Structure 1
Amino acid sequence: MKHNTSKQVKKEYLTINRKRHGIMIESRDWSNPVLLIIHGGPGFPLYPFMSAHHVDLTKHYTVVYWDQPGTGMSGVRTAPSIQALVEDAHQLILYLTTTLHQSKVYLMCHSFGTIIGTHLAHQYPQCIATYIGVGQLGHVLKNEHRILNQIKMFAHQEGDHEGLQLLEKIRLDYDFHTNKYYRLLRDWYTERYKSGFSSRGYGLLKMIQVILKTPHYTLRERLNIFRSGLVGSPHLNREMTHTNLLDIAQEIWVPIVIMQGVHDMQTTLEESRIFFEKLGSRYKRYYYFQDAAHAPFVDETEKFLFIMKEIIDPHAT
């Protein structure tokens, strides 16, 4: 596959379903297959982190980073529902396939974005060449129970009796996203055990520094990421906690690749594996990242890039 030595970056603003959407496109060869990246959160764009850690996918793809409504480049109005995000993404795919002269896109989704992407693969399989789930969700409430149990196990192993007493008081239900006490403990322990965003540790200060240095974003767009993080999206979080993707997994037939950090306590290995086993697709691959947490593309960049190259190689011309 041919590619230029220099990477081109193109920033676009689109109106989709009466909302503003910002996308960042990177390419060395505009004839390369299109890779659409759908971030997590809600409201947590990946472009700042892929850029900061030099995760360059442009040797094999034309890469499109989409900021979902309400964060980054895409204004302050959040989507009313997960299905609305699915429809937004579908319209974006139609735009990309038309303007970049492709029949399908490769779809890489991270964390909360895997909910959007799984529904896309289920509802619009004709648009998807391969679905790539990084930090794949399945049954969201059961995933959260697994996280809590893992944290309890770590606390027990360390002899952290005081922490264990606090953790034993927690009762998880579908409203766990509103439990500030639990969220505080969860964030503190996952960072302590380096099982949050990165297995190397990735505190709030580092995230702030990365976002503030994001290339091609305006200052307002960088600050909009912080705003979306502070304000949040209660209705999307509420819908997310009730999500069970296992209900549709058997009906998904597009080629699927799942990448999972072994140390991830945001989207657990166990839950992503259960999702994988239930998939109806005849072509499916599951990759473990032994030294990674929630962001394998940061913790094990070379392995991540190698797998992404493998996905595209059979289609090279």
Structure 2
Amino acid sequence: MGVRDLGSKLNEKIFTEIGGMEQGMVLQSADTDNPVLLFLHGGPGSPEIAFSQDCPTGLDGLFTVCWWEQRGSGISYRRNIPKESMTLEQMIEDALAVTKYLCKRFGKEKVYLMGHSWGSLLGVLTVKRAPELFYAYMGIGQVARQEESERLAYTYMLERFCQAGDKRMVRKLRRYPIDKGGDMSLRYLSVRSEGMQKLGIGVMHRMTSMMDCVKVVLGYKGYTLGEKLRFVMGSSFSLGCLWDTVAKCDLFERAPRLEVPTYVFQGKYDYQVSYEIAKRYMEAMQAPVKGFYTFAESAHSPCYEEPEKMCEILQKDVLQGKAELADR
């Protein structure tokens, strides 16, 4: 049973200039006096507000939530975006600009930051750049060392499909020998996603096909038809521009410490971003307060798969600056 949709006092889709171009976001809140939360979506290029329509997170009951759609993604996609502007550095600058916009609009000194998947990589580096702007950081499906994560996932999938006698998936995977240093191309990602969904180790544990994700976007009432088309184009564009950066970035080296309370929510079945590596990163990194939380019924998206547990952690730990519910 999901979190009950309480309805939002604020539910507004806006466009504003961020980093020299118009970018879009949706603001939602049951009470605008609540703290502000900036949500950094995954992908790169995959805004997530559409998932909250059928799988409400409960975030807008605790925070004023900004579902920002990043440069080159969703409603922020434009055909004329220069590819050279699609860099990790520019994304960090954009995230800081959105943060400052939110502080000014809602009269806050700081905001909370939550990043999912690719957004968790962006989130850690954004907080590292300007910790004074954030009360705390929360990572969902925390990226830390994605090349290693992809090899672990590949080996696991190949073993499972061999055991199951699924010759078709074995044949498709073996075209891309990731375990032997093969190229993690965008074509491979398509095969990888298909395999993960079949095994329940991808986007959601109970989601069996990537078509389920497509249906979520197509069914979202907050997008116009044109915006749904932009979503598809932006997803391909952003992934093509940023995937190599995601794969090669090592947070063990780049962000061994954060200066704000840091929390990671990781699904037990997550192989899209390795549960094992995320846990190792949290054990190694330093922060004033830190907590790692295992979601036993989730794969890559515990915010949609187990929202009640997430909200309990947010209320009892994150908003209190504690980590008493964390794994021991």
* CA 247–195 in structure 1, closer or farther in 2 if over 3 Å, else same: same
* CA 227–165 in structure 1, closer or farther in 2 if over 3 Å, else same: closer
Distance 1:306 1:128 in 2: 21
- Matched with 2:222 is 216
Structure 1: which amino acid aligns with 2:287?
A: S
Per-residue CA deviation, residues 108-139 of structure 1 (Å, 9 max, x unaligned), is 10001111101011111111111000000111
State whether residues 42 and 233 of structure 1, in contact with CA within 8 Å, keep that contact through their aligned partners in structure 2: yes
Structure 2: which amino acid aligns with 1:177?
A: S
Q: Given the alignment, which residue of 264, 282, 291 partners 2:288?
A: 282
Structure 2: which amino acid aligns with 1:69?
A: R
Structure 2: which amino acid aligns with 1:33?
A: P
* CA 109–163 in structure 1, closer or farther in 2 if over 3 Å, else same: same
- Matched with 1:116 is 122
Query: Is 1:226 aligned with 2:259?
Result: no
Distance 1:216 1:59 in 2: 19
- Matched with 2:18 is 16
- Matched with 1:25 is 27
* CA 202–224 in structure 1, closer or farther in 2 if over 3 Å, else same: farther
- Matched with 1:140 is 146
* CA 6–85 in structure 1, closer or farther in 2 if over 3 Å, else same: closer
Distance 2:45 2:8 in 1: 30
- Matched with 1:54 is 56
Q: Given the alignment, which residue of 250, 253, 271 partners 1:247?
A: 253
State whether residues 71 and 225 of structure 1, in contact with CA within 8 Å, keep that contact through their aligned partners in structure 2: yes
Q: Which runs of 4+ in 1 moved over 6 A?
A: none
Query: Is 1:304 aligned with 2:310?
Result: yes
Structure 2: which amino acid aligns with 1:213?
A: G
* CA apart distance, 1:186: 1.4
* CA apart distance, 1:285: 0.5
Per-residue CA deviation, residues 33-79 of structure 1 (Å, 9 max, x unaligned), is 00100001011001110222122212211111000011222132364
Distance 1:165 1:58 in 2: 45
* CA 61–166 in structure 1, closer or farther in 2 if over 3 Å, else same: closer
State whether residues 255 and 283 of structure 1, in contact with CA within 8 Å, keep that contact through their aligned partners in structure 2: yes
* CA 233–184 in structure 1, closer or farther in 2 if over 3 Å, else same: closer
* CA apart distance, 1:295: 0.8
Percentage identity across paired residues of the two chains: 27
Query: Is 1:155 aligned with 2:161?
Result: yes
Distance 1:24 1:174 in 2: 39
State whether residues 39 and 110 of structure 1, in contact with CA within 8 Å, keep that contact through their aligned partners in structure 2: yes
* CA apart distance, 1:5: 7.1
Q: Quick check: 58-67 or 198-207, which moved more?
A: 198-207
Query: Is 1:293 aligned with 2:299?
Result: yes
Structure 2: which amino acid aligns with 1:25?
A: L
5+ residue gaps, structure 1, are: none
Q: Quick check: 21-30 or 160-169, which moved more?
A: 160-169
Equivalenced residue count is: 310
Q: Given the alignment, which residue of 43, 46, 54 partners 2:45?
A: 43
* CA 127–174 in structure 1, closer or farther in 2 if over 3 Å, else same: farther
State whether residues 42 and 112 of structure 1, in contact with CA within 8 Å, keep that contact through their aligned partners in structure 2: yes
Distance 1:268 1:201 in 2: 18
Query: Is 1:63 aligned with 2:65?
Result: yes
Q: Quick check: 255-264 or 162-171, which moved more?
A: 162-171
Structure 2: which amino acid aligns with 1:135?
A: G
Secondary structure of 1:58's aligned partner:
helix
Per-residue CA deviation, residues 182-233 of structure 1 (Å, 9 max, x unaligned), is 3343122211111111111152332222212223322211221111234444
Structure 2: which amino acid aligns with 1:186?
A: R
* CA 286–187 in structure 1, closer or farther in 2 if over 3 Å, else same: same
Secondary structure of 1:298's aligned partner:
helix
Structure 2: which amino acid aligns with 1:176?
A: M
Q: Given the alignment, which residue of 176, 182, 185 partners 2:184?
A: 176
Distance 1:221 1:196 in 2: 25
Q: TM-score, normalised by structure 1?
A: 0.90
* CA 301–18 in structure 1, closer or farther in 2 if over 3 Å, else same: same
Query: Is 1:186 aligned with 2:192?
Result: yes
State whether residues 249 and 275 of structure 1, in contact with CA within 8 Å, keep that contact through their aligned partners in structure 2: no
